[in-house]
Amino acid sequence: MDLFASLVTAIWLMLPAYIPNNAAVLAGGGRPIDGGRSLGGRRLLGDGKTWRGTAVGTTAGALVAVALNRLNASAAELLGVTLPAFPLSVLVALPLGAMLGDIGASFLKRRSGRERGAPFPGVDQLDFVVGALALALLAAPNWFLDAFSATVLGIILVVTPLLHVLTNAIAYVIGVKDEPW
């Protein structure tokens, strides 16, 4: 697979994991997952992790994967690249894993004394990727090892932080996000 094909494949595979956090930002609010509970004097997760944001984010990502499956043949022809199709389990695992990775990061942020919205460089940019990849691997190991080559994984680890910084900066500028990270 050449570099262009690997790049297209990487973005295709990760779109269902890129959408959830952005959808959660738009949908956020309502009951926090931790129900307001604290651990050692700090919130377990904080008000930034809500049931609604998590549900809407996961659903949005899964719908994107469904849409990509339907577009597969035409996109493959247009781009000249054979694109992977998402099995049902992966179609849920990618967005749900992304949300769980983000929630796990908030847990670590609170334990390390960071308030809601405080930056955690590195973790903020990669938490959802690690969560998405881990859950997809668990959900469909054979499909995962076939779809994600070492090159594709490498590209994901480089491109994701760049896309994350860019989309969050845009979300901040247009006023839908409180901080640019």
Rounded to a whole number of angstroms, the minimum distance from the CB of residue 48 to ligand CTP is 3
Map the footprint of ligand CTP across residues 1-20, applying CB under 6 A.
none
The listed partner (K ion, ligand CTP, none) that binds 141, CB under 5 to 8 Å by sort, is none
Total number of residues binding K ion (CB under 5 A)?
1
Task: Show contacts with K ion in window 51-90 (CB under 5 A).
Answer: none
Residue with token string 């070492």: 150
**Which of K ion, ligand CTP, none is residue 28 near (CB under 5 to 8 Å by kind)?**
ligand CTP
Binding-residue pattern over the window 91 to 120 for K ion, x denoting contact by CB under 5 A: -----------x------------------
Residue 122 tokens read as: 């590195």
Closest approach of Cβ 53 to ligand CTP, in Å? 2
Which residue stretch of 1-9, 43-51, 79-87, 145-153 sits at the interface with ligand CTP (rule: CB under 6 A)?
43-51
180 binds ligand CTP (CB under 6 A): no
